[in-house]
A and B are shown apart, each in its own frame.
Chain A
Amino acid sequence: MGKMGSEMLIYVLLLMAGVLASGQSSQVKIWPMPASVSYGHTHLYLTNDFGFSSNYGSEILKDAFDRMLALIKLDHVIDANFSAFNSSSLLQGLHIVISSPNGQLQYGVDESYKLIVPSPEKPAYAHLEAKTVYGALQGLQTFSQLCYFSVTSRVLQIDMSPWTIIDQPRFSYRGLLIDTSRHYLPVPVIKKVIDSMSYAKLNVMHWHIVDTQSFPLEIPSYPKLWDGAYSPSERYTVADAADIVSYAQKRGINVLAEIDVPGHALSWGTGYPSLWPSKDCQQPLDVSNEFTFKVIDGILSDFSKIFNFKFVHLGGDEVNTSCWTTTPRIRNWLKKRGMNESQAYQYFVLRAQNIALSHGYEIINWEETFNDFGNKLSRKTVVHNWLGGGVAQRVVASGLRCIVSNQDKWYLDHLDTPWQEFYANEPLTNITNLKQQKLVIGGEVCMWGETVNGSDIEQTIWPRAAAAAERLWTPFDKLAKNPRDVTGRLAHFRCLLNQRGVAAAPVAGLGRAAPEGPGSCYRQ
């Protein structure tokens, strides 16, 4: 049967003592912490016919109602005798009032909401106010975290009522990167990641679709590109991609598509070998060949029909240009134009930017492009930091926008970066000017795919991504100065993820580590 040594038990007890002693300043268990919360000390019970309603008819809301009910119930059987409860403590529903009729999800959409439980006017209902459907979705997420199935009362219960929560995000871009080139991720796996993002109020899924290793996406304009997929079945059709985008939008999540050029693009040449400088020197993409830019144009034209987010990501990182100088044909081309290789790199990136602009996109590029020729970049560029700290400061000083993903703190594939460091990574470090602060549109945690696939992606992302999610959502003044103070609340959120079927790893321990031994979810 398999035994656990007593020293392991002691270890677990110590761990639990550690978590319990970590001084939770508040009993509020919501993650991420809302901007403003007040609460009381009475219990409410959800009736069996508890339902959601709204002044505003919307498919997105209707879908969300069904989802939320399932999330709150979590398959528990509610078998209480409601006549035994005091009727004033029963909650029959939640009513949503939405003031703006615009149902489009776009960058910067108003996500604020106000949640009052119970409503002062109609005490049998909770009241949720939002400008947009997407604010209402965030409010519903918060509401779902107030409810739990109580094994004592046998019903869905809310403690610490009455609640008044007024909330809005600190940053408008709160991202998570997934990488489907290093490993293919089946569509159901991606959808589960999207679901779990919505629980932590993240709102951008950055889809790093293609890289050196494989080209899994169908591009109708250039149908041989996905010959670069790992295998015939490790692919996404256009319909799959559109399905993923619409699935995410229903959850208030934007999908940012990336094609990384001119480096990280070796797999393009499996279908179109003329994109390689030569057979023996296969990346970066051939800068001298007009066909290269025709293909990029075709891809972005197809993208614009699927990915309707305001931004597209053009990569531009880690370009090793030696193939351009060692291939005679390209060397001659450079010479004729009087370009050196770093000028050719700049030429390539700027030309790709222009193509993206012509398809109506604004552009995101990795920081090397800024470091090398920042003043040449389109003013519509958002610079994506990754190499280290201090970059955002320089980017916003130059007037460009920035997304923070410094790899020492926000790379999920760095398994030895603990959640405390994810939590403490402040995007506005050393940026004091208010106008410059606004140019930092947010941050992103990156789940590079070298060692993740459908078997381990969830526990590698969670719970550490949640720590960053609070940094990006919660007002600066309400963030814990010492991450230790939120350990208990984060453990609670991670157990909530487990209950919802997300394989979040224990809070104690490094990224994706399995539990060390037997113990309660809340103490590991």
Chain B
Amino acid sequence: MLHLSEKPHFIYTCLMLLAWVSQYVSLSAGFELNHSLTYIWPLPHELTSGNETLTVNPTLSLSLIGKGGNFKILREGFRRYKRIIFKQSSGVSIFKNLRRIRSIYDISQMRIIVNSDSDELKLGVDESYTLFITKTGGKSTAWEAIIEVNTVYGALRGLETFSQLCAYDYTTKSVQLSKAPWYIKDKPRFAYRGLLLDTSRHYFPVDVIKSIIDSMSYAKLNVLHWHIIDEQSFPLEIPKYPKLWNGAYTKWERYTVEDASKIVRFAKTRGIHVMAEVDVPGHAKSWGVGYPDLWPSTSCREPLDVTKNFTFDLISGIFSDIRKIFPFELFHLGGDEVNIGCWDNTPHVKQWLKDNNMKPKDAYKYFVLKAQEIAISKNWTPVNWEETFNAFAGSLNPQTVVHNWLGPGVCPKAVAKGFKCIFSNSDVWYLDHLDVPWEQIYNAEPLEGIDNESKQKLVQQTIWPRAAAAAERLWSTKTALSAGNDTVLHRLHYFRCLLQRRGVQAAPVTNYYARQPPVGPDSCYWQ
């Protein structure tokens, strides 16, 4: 069965030997929780803990108090987290009688107090929460968990933290919560904590997108930036222009309007915004499959034809269709990497430029600003990639949010000019750059950025665990962020194993290249 002898993979064999040696060490050492550390990811704003270990009742009950106590999002969220926390103990136990099962639990009740009666999910919605694990008081020896929040979204963050305090204990066969009593007061450092998903270069089935959304909520990320369309494919249905999705890869690799709405609703129940992106005028070649008029010519297909009213009518049609799907106030207009060669080479465009006394780069500005106007008319705040800011900052609509990607130092400039900025410096926060290790991601500081964002290419193991490093940078306060990476590494190992337990394909932490398989046999907590 083993194959070392058969295949002369010398290097592989060496790795195996190394792995064996390290595993031998770990057999004797084992992974021990370091009780001076807090295994919550990302680290909360403020906390105190004690040293009692409590058992948690699998039939944990919920009482909802306050004006916002009646929301479905909350009741469903509680049920979801119960499934996560008690996954282990739900199985069939034919051995139950053989063991003495402890039937008295320390924590049997959770109270959630929600002050606000609104469940509207807007940028900057209050995500703060206070979580107490404390004795119920009086003579009773019982404990309870109390989450106090302003909004249901704060409650979801509190439930996530609570779920990370709980762990199944294989000795007592029960879910335990250690280091009680707890007092945690928490809020995010940034209101925008994003992950980009690109469905043009590859189609992702709806189920895959949903599981990515679930995994984002485990790391308290809150914006899914959906880069829907690019030059390779146009997967989304646009009812006003039904031939646009002819640009999909195949007839199966598409999203209906209902699919998209469903994704947005699903994300909302996890407290996650969906920011749509329609990238113009570059990165839009796939539009012309259904409407070839949008191409400057059949031989020169990008950027979109700036001369035609049809181009802008169609953009306006797309925006009004998808405005109904995406309620989030930010909308991404792209505007990056526009190669204006086609405009200069195509006779009718060239003529139009001449008639309007424009150079190609003026036409680029003209296009971006016109698209901004259309977006604003649909009551959206436009977000644009940084090239627009670099080329004509003075003309951008003052509401514009500048999305950094080319390199460092852009956000300070944008903020100085009064723009908001999203930090995604591609040196450190592009997840498709597989050679960026998690420490660099963790240590990247958004500087004076207002909000921020990171980007992904492939699947769960490309996203995780590195995105978690950015998530802590975005959630936790600067001073709370652990100073030494050694203790962070320990906590990050723990979090990536937690992701795996929840079925998320988080790759090993310690490999140099991201999404690489483990190098040899070993414990999850060491790799």
Contacts and interface: CB of A to CB of B under 8 A. Distances in A.
A242 B93 contact: yes
B337 interface: yes
Contact of B525 (A228, A231, A407, A495): A231
A252 interface: no
A183 B249 contact: no
Interface in B210-269: 210-211, 230, 232-233, 237, 245, 249-254, 256, 258-259, 261-262
B157 interface: no
Interface in A239-255: 239-240, 242-243, 246
Contacts of B350: none
Contacts of B259: 75-77
Interface string B89-131: 1111111101100000000000000000000000000000000
A246 B93 CA distance: 11
A501 interface: yes
Given A79-B258, A521-B249, A270 B88 contact: no
B283 A1 contact: yes
B252 A2 contact: no
A413 interface: yes
A212 B16 CA distance: 13
A188 B91 contact: no
B517 A456 contact: yes
B203 interface: yes
Nearest to A457: B505
Nearest to A213: B521
Contact of A503 (B432, B455, B459): B459
Interface string B449-463: 000000101111110
B360 to A, nearest CB: 20
A83 interface: no
Interface stretch (B24-32, B158-166, B407-415): B24-32
A230 B26 contact: yes
B3 interface: yes
A162 interface: no
A4 B201 contact: yes
A231 B524 CA distance: 9
A218 interface: yes
A267 interface: yes
Interface stretch (B54-62, B365-373, B439-447, B496-504): B496-504
Interface string A64-78: 000000000011110
Contacts of B251: 150-152
A231 B460 CA distance: 24
A231 B170 CA distance: 10
Contacts of B98: 220
B87 interface: yes
A504 to B, nearest CB: 11
A453 B499 CA distance: 12
A189 B30 CA distance: 23
B1 A366 contact: yes
A503 B458 CA distance: 11
Contacts of A281: none
B91 A243 contact: yes
A192 interface: yes
A407 B6 contact: yes
A150 B252 CA distance: 8
A101 interface: no
Nearest to A9: B232
Contacts of A515: 202, 458
Interface stretch (A136-144, A430-438, A442-450, A473-481): A442-450
B94 A305 contact: yes
Looking at A188, A450, A503, the one whose CB has the most chain B CB atoms below 10 A away is: A450
A3 B506 contact: no
Interface residues of B, number: 96
A520 B251 CA distance: 10
Contacts of B525: 230-231, 234
A450 B521 contact: yes
Contacts of A455: 460-461, 500, 505-508, 515, 517-518
Interface in A66-108: 74-77, 79
A453 B207 contact: no
Contacts of A233: 167-168, 170, 497
Contacts of A499: 205, 207, 252
Contacts of B482: none
B391 interface: no
A243 B89 CA distance: 10
Contact of A500 (B1, B169, B207): B207
A318 B170 CA distance: 32
Interface string A338-362: 0000000000000000000000000
Contacts of A503: 459-460, 505
Interface string B62-106: 000000000000000000000000011111111110110000000
Contacts of B518: 183, 450-453, 455-456
Nearest to A260: B1
A31 interface: no
B11 interface: no
A310 interface: no
A2 B457 contact: yes
B30 A239 contact: no
A500 B204 CA distance: 11
Interface string A497-520: 011110100000000101101111
A213 B249 contact: no
B95 A213 contact: no
Contacts of B2: 317-318, 448
Nearest to B406: A1
A520 B249 CA distance: 5
Interface in A99-151: 148, 150-151
A419 interface: no
Contacts of B521: 181-183, 213-214, 449-450
B1 A318 contact: yes
Interface string B421-447: 000001000101000000000000000
Given A2-B430, A518-B200, A521-B249, A239 B207 contact: no
A450 B520 contact: yes
A154 interface: yes
Contacts of A414: 3, 7
A220 B97 CA distance: 12
Contacts of A451: 517-520
Contacts of A317: 1-2
19 contacts: A2-B457, A77-B262, A151-B237, A182-B521, A230-B525, A233-B170, A234-B525, A238-B94, A305-B94, A366-B1, A408-B6, A454-B500, A455-B461, A456-B507, A499-B205, A518-B233, A520-B233, A521-B249, A522-B252
The 4 A-B pairs at the shortest CB distance, nearest first, are namely A520-B249, A243-B91, A77-B258, A230-B523
Given A74-B207, A220-B99, 10 more contacts: A1-B279, A4-B232, A186-B501, A187-B88, A231-B30, A407-B1, A498-B208, A518-B232, A520-B253, A522-B253
